[in-house]
Amino acid sequence: MRLYSNGKLLISGEYVILDGALSLAVPSVFGQYLEILEDDSKYINWTSKNSNGKVWFDCKICIESLELKESSSNKVSNKLIQIIKTIRELNPDFLNNCGSKITTRLTFDKNWGLGTSSTLISNLSKLARIDPFKLNNRIFNGSGYDIACAESNSPLLYRISKNEKYIEEVSFKPVFHENIYFVYLNTKQNSLTEVKKYKKLKISNSLLTEISDITNKLLNCSNQKNFNDLIYSHEQIISKLISKKPIKKELFDNFSGEIKSLGAWGGDFIMASCEEDPSNYFKNKGYSTIFKYTDIII
């Protein structure tokens, strides 16, 4: 059996998505495959491959006890065992009747932050026939927008309200999309750590309304100058909230256009909106992983 789930980018609402702000999320053209072959062994033999085909993690786990026999990383193995145990609480028969060889393969570099964990949760949930949001809540307790993207082939409006999820498939491909670029900052952020810091903050309803309003306007924007103004406003609001400088002010102060952080600030991807191809600008700054809109977003 072979399964696949999409990666993700969060265009608006980072951090405040956790408190109910309307956010715009997009599935990426990159994702993760999971292939399973059953065998007569008493083990789950697990292999994880990066986009270049190289193995970045492997382990051997007893089927019944989930005792670890071999591993290239105890940290990763412990998380994987936690996930399998949690799945078995929802489906006791999961990987419990015979041995198996499981191979996962990313189609993006695992350091990019496009959803190594969320695509795994999605694939395993499909394999176990359980609710991926329920599994994700028990393991990571994030917003779940990445899980929604894993199963969608369309951009999404996403909101959490009183523990209920509002998910609406939308069209998001601005007429000026050829002037939108995505750049990897070479500094992967720990989302769980960033979320813990954020949850200590007090968020006003007016701030959530402001971000939700920006999300709606970004979705319907047909003018690049207005789009850039919205990006700027969003950056200022989040900057003040989390007490961090916007990434443009921090690293790209002389950039001719606007730049927005995506996800946890300080790492992963940024979105750049400008009239001319900025590839040389970013490469000269040391950032060589650059995508055009249609090269990364479904």
Residue ending a domain, choose from 140, 168, 196 = 168
Q: What is the per-residue pLDDT for 43?
A: 97
What DSSP element (H or E) covers 284?
A: helix 279-284
Q: What is the per-residue pLDDT for 2?
A: 97
Give yes or no: residues 146 and 8 share one domain.
Answer: yes
Give yes or no: residues 93 and 180 share one domain.
Answer: no
What residue ranges in the chain does DSSP mark as E strands?
2-10, 23-39, 43-49, 55-62, 68-71, 99-106, 156-161, 164-169, 180-184, 258-261, 269-273, 290-292
Residue ending a domain, choose from 144, 168, 192 = 168
Query: Could you tell me the residue range of the domain that residue 193 belongs to?
Result: 173-296
Give yes or no: residues 87 and 220 share one domain.
Answer: no
Q: What is the per-residue pLDDT for 190?
A: 65
Q: What is the per-residue pLDDT for 120?
A: 98
Rounded CA gap, 16 and 214, in Å? 13
Residue ending a domain, choose from 133, 168, 203 = 168
Give yes or no: residues 177 and 144 share one domain.
Answer: no
Question: pLDDT by residue for the chain (298 residues), tens digit each?
Answer: 999 999 999 999 999 999 999 999 999 999 999 999 999 999 999 999 999 999 999 999 999 999 999 999 999 999 999 999 999 999 999 999 899 999 999 999 999 999 999 999 999 999 999 999 999 999 998 899 999 999 999 999 999 998 899 999 999 999 999 999 999 998 766 676 777 788 788 899 999 999 999 999 999 999 999 999 999 999 999 999 999 999 999 999 999 999 999 988 876 899 999 999 999 999 999 999 999 999 999 9
Domains in the chain: how many in total? 2
| Chain centre to alpha carbon of residue 201 | 22
The CB density around residue 141, as the number of other CB atoms within 10 Å, is 12
pTM of the model: 0.95
Give yes or no: residues 34 and 159 share one domain.
Answer: yes
